[in-house]
Amino acid sequence: MTTAKTALRRLNKAQRLERVGKLARGKFVSPDNVPQLLKRIIEPGDILCLEGDNQKQADFLANQLATLDKKDLHDIHLVMSCITLPAHIELFKKGMIRQVDFCYAGPQGTAVADLVKAKKFPVGAIHTYNELYARYYIDLTPRVALIAAAQADRKGNLFLAANTEDTPAIVEPTAFSDGIVFAQVNEIVDKLPRIDIPADQVDFVVEAPYPMHLQALFTRDPAAITDVQVLMAMVALRGIYEKYEVQSLNHGVGFNTAAIELLLPTYGERLGLKGKICKYWMVNPLPTMIPAIESGWVESVFAVGGEVGMERYTAARSDVFFTGRDGSFHSNRAMGQLAGHYAIDMFIGASLQIDINGNSSTVSKNRITGFGGAPNMGCQPTGRRHPTKAWLKAGAEANPGPGSPPGRKLVVQMVETFQAGRVPTFVEELDAAEPSIRKALHGVTPVMIYGDDVTHIVTEEGIANLAACRSIAERQAAIRAVAGYTPVGLKRKKRETEELRRRGIVQMPEDVGVRPSEASRSLLATQDIKGLVRWSNGLYDPPSQFVDW
């Protein structure tokens, strides 16, 4: 009897495929038949993976799924990295979902918060990316995966173009566990530029009537960078990049780090840092990196996804970007996150809220966003063994005990003390710690980056070196010292701040050789999107909302 049991899953897949019958011609499904087909291949109780990545969305399949009724589709355990589309929310409203495990809900953060309040969002956990992918191989293996690709050929091989993102991490566990992989593609062609997913791992293909939705996420208009952000960027460059000789890194997607990228060819060059810092990047193809790349600062860039408009530029700079045999850009979120976890000297990013212990979050009662890739990179990888200059230097400062690694990854939070509308960034307690949120998350506070992992906080007031603090009280005093005129900052004690400054744990701009009066947008390599296009020699095609020429 045991022999039969070991093949039950395969048998079940065969039954599902059997039910499909004439709805598909081989692997190929016409768009009209998709709702029927979904009904027949998905069973109640299934773990269903709906590809919703940070950028690309299997939106046609999601929309078709949302047309079904609860009687056709219920008790679904939904797993997906990003809840992005109204169709995703619709599944919850219709009561089809028994449980959801996800990472991020940025664009639908408010809708998710509403669902939580209405008790219609049965969440297992909010994950970090690699954590969720990992669970696809352990206890959240999809029975059915609905994915998105750029092109398919007549055999069902898939081409993912610039936005590989999550696809391989979804397909592999599904395909190798007798699950069903169903891909929507923008077009079916005779010959693919390259094969990213072999036909062998694909069960169904539909040519969607509209191209898949791609979020333009990483385009930061230099025109929106402020003088204050330039000041912070200068402070970070001198006080962290230069000090630790940071060679490999990840940048967040905010304006703060965009300012740093645009200062490299100007201010960075003046400081003689070219070749010493910022050579290896794990980051999406950020348009604001173009001037640094064109000035020869950057050796390589590996990315978790693409960026709209960067296709021709990345193809033309194949010495820097990873490209396929066809010459076009390649990305991979799982591998990129792995690289960002183990192989970089520094992660630097922004956050909406930081508490007095250095924990940060973007979640509040009215907006539940979850995490992007930040936590995988913004943490200490204690599995790391290889040394680099920056890692060892940061480690030495942290004064590791006999049972700790000798090095430390630099995990830097770069924030202005106030957000827009005078909302303070620094708070005594995170909004995310609100009881209703913790209850929905089974007692877990959705912290983006834990204070223990953070090594530095940079604000317009200066740098707080948390790794060098020797006690919780000291860390709190260091945070207050750079929290400016927020309620948290107003509680600082002058003498304490001066003592921390004397010990170099708190550094004001002047202490790292930056004169605030020098901080000006005029230092940026370019002040607008048009300038980026010029820097790229016309290879960058910005999205239309950024074009005013």
Partner 1 sequence: MTGTSLFHEQTARQRIAALVDPRSFAEMLPPPERLTSPYLAQLGIPVSFDDGVVIGKAKLGGKEIYIAAQVGQFVGGAVGEIHGAKLTGLFKAAARDQVPCVLIIESGGVRLHEGSAGEIAIAETMRAIFECRAKKVPTIAVIATDIGAYGGIGILSTCCDFRVMTEHGRLGISGPIVIEKWMGKKAYDSANRALVWKTSGGKTKYLLGDADALVHDSADAIRDAVAKLLGKSSAITLTSVKTRQKELEKRLKRFGDTADPDAVWKAMGVRDIAGASLASGPEFAAMAKRGK
Partner 2 sequence: MEKFAKAFPSKPLKTTAGKPWALAGVVGSGNLEVLVERGSRPSDAMDCHVETSIPGYKASWLAALADFAHHYPAGGTKVTINDQGAPPVLVTLRLRQAYDHLTKGEK
Q: Is 522 in the site for partner 1 (CB under 8 A)?
A: yes
C-alpha–C-alpha distance, residues 158 and 192, integer Å = 8
292 is written with which tokens? 């640094």
Cα–chain-centroid distance for residue 227?
Answer: 26
Alpha helices in 149-224 (DSSP H): 167-175
Nearest CB to partner 1, comparing residues 436 and 544: 544
Least CB distance from residue 519 to partner 2, whole Å? 9
From residue 403 to residue 422, the character string flagging contacts with partner 2 as x (rule: CB under 8 A) and all else as - is -------------xxx-xxx
Q: Which stretch binds partner 1 (CB under 8 A): 39-47, 329-337, 352-360, 521-529?
A: 521-529
Name 100's bridge partners. 78, 123
C-alpha–C-alpha distance, residues 65 and 73, integer Å = 9
Task: Please give the full DSSP string across 247-310, using - where no structure is assigned.
Answer: -EEEE-SSHHHHHHHHHIIIIIHHTT-BTTB--EEES---GGGHHHHHTT--SEEE-SS--TT-
139 is written with which tokens? 């206890």
Nearest CB to partner 2, comparing residues 325 and 422: 422
**237 exposure class (CB count in 10 Å sphere: 0-12, 13-18, 19+):** buried
Residue pair 55/214 in contact (Cβ under 8 Å)? The answer is yes
Name 347's bridge partners. 250, 411
Residue pair 231/376 in contact (Cβ under 8 Å)? The answer is no
Residue 47 interacts with, from partner 2, partner 1, none (CB under 5-8 Å by kind): none
Cα–chain-centroid distance for residue 62?
Answer: 21
Residue pair 460/416 in contact (Cβ under 8 Å)? The answer is yes
Q: Is 266 in the site for partner 1 (CB under 8 A)?
A: yes
Residue 402 interacts with, from partner 1, partner 2, none (CB under 5-8 Å by kind): none
Least CB distance from residue 294 to partner 1, whole Å? 10
Residue 525 interacts with, from partner 1, partner 2, none (CB under 5-8 Å by kind): partner 1
Residue 404 interacts with, from partner 1, partner 2, none (CB under 5-8 Å by kind): none
Cα–chain-centroid distance for residue 327?
Answer: 25
Q: Is 525 in the site for partner 1 (CB under 8 A)?
A: yes
> Restricting to residues 468-527, which ones interact with partner 2 according to CB under 8 A?
484-486, 490, 516-517
Which of 233, 244, 526, 539 lies at the binding interface for partner 1 (CB under 8 A)?
526
Residue 484 interacts with, from partner 1, partner 2, none (CB under 5-8 Å by kind): partner 2
Nearest CB to partner 2, comparing residues 221 and 245: 221
**Nearest partner of 108 among 125, 93, 129, judged by Cα:** 93
Question: Phi first, then psi: what are they for 348, rounded to 5°?
Answer: -135, 130
459 is written with which tokens? 């604000």
From residue 102 to residue 121, the character string flagging contacts with partner 1 as x (rule: CB under 8 A) and all else as - is --------------------
Least CB distance from residue 534 to partner 1, whole Å? 7
> Restricting to residues 270-329, which ones interact with partner 1 according to CB under 8 A?
270, 295
Which of 131, 178, 227, 245 lies at the binding interface for partner 2 (CB under 8 A)?
227
Residue 549 interacts with, from partner 1, partner 2, none (CB under 5-8 Å by kind): partner 1
C-alpha–C-alpha distance, residues 267 and 276, integer Å = 14
Least CB distance from residue 549 to partner 1, whole Å? 4
Q: Is 544 in the site for partner 1 (CB under 8 A)?
A: yes
Residue pair 333/304 in contact (Cβ under 8 Å)? The answer is yes
Residue pair 227/256 in contact (Cβ under 8 Å)? The answer is no
Which of 196, 460, 466, 482 lies at the binding interface for partner 2 (CB under 8 A)?
460
C-alpha–C-alpha distance, residues 254 and 221, integer Å = 10
Least CB distance from residue 15 to partner 1, whole Å? 51
Which of 52, 239, 265, 268 lies at the binding interface for partner 1 (CB under 8 A)?
265
Nearest CB to partner 2, comparing residues 103 and 488: 488
Reported as half-sphere exposure (CB side, CA atoms, 13 A), residue 413 has a value of 34
Residue 420 interacts with, from partner 1, partner 2, none (CB under 5-8 Å by kind): partner 2
Q: Is 194 in the site for partner 1 (CB under 8 A)?
A: no
C-alpha–C-alpha distance, residues 398 and 453, integer Å = 11
Which of 66, 523, 532, 539 lies at the binding interface for partner 1 (CB under 8 A)?
523
C-alpha–C-alpha distance, residues 275 and 158, integer Å = 39
Residue 524 interacts with, from partner 2, partner 1, none (CB under 5-8 Å by kind): partner 1
Site size toward partner 2, by CB under 8 A = 16
Residue 460 interacts with, from partner 1, partner 2, none (CB under 5-8 Å by kind): partner 2
Task: Please give the full DSSP string across 504-529, using - where no structure is assigned.
Answer: TSEE-GGGGT--GGG--GGGSS-SSH
Q: Which residues bind partner 2 (CB under 8 A)?
A: 227-228, 416-418, 420-422, 460-461, 484-486, 490, 516-517
Q: Which residues bind partner 1 (CB under 8 A)?
A: 265-266, 269-270, 295, 520-527, 530, 533-534, 538, 544-549
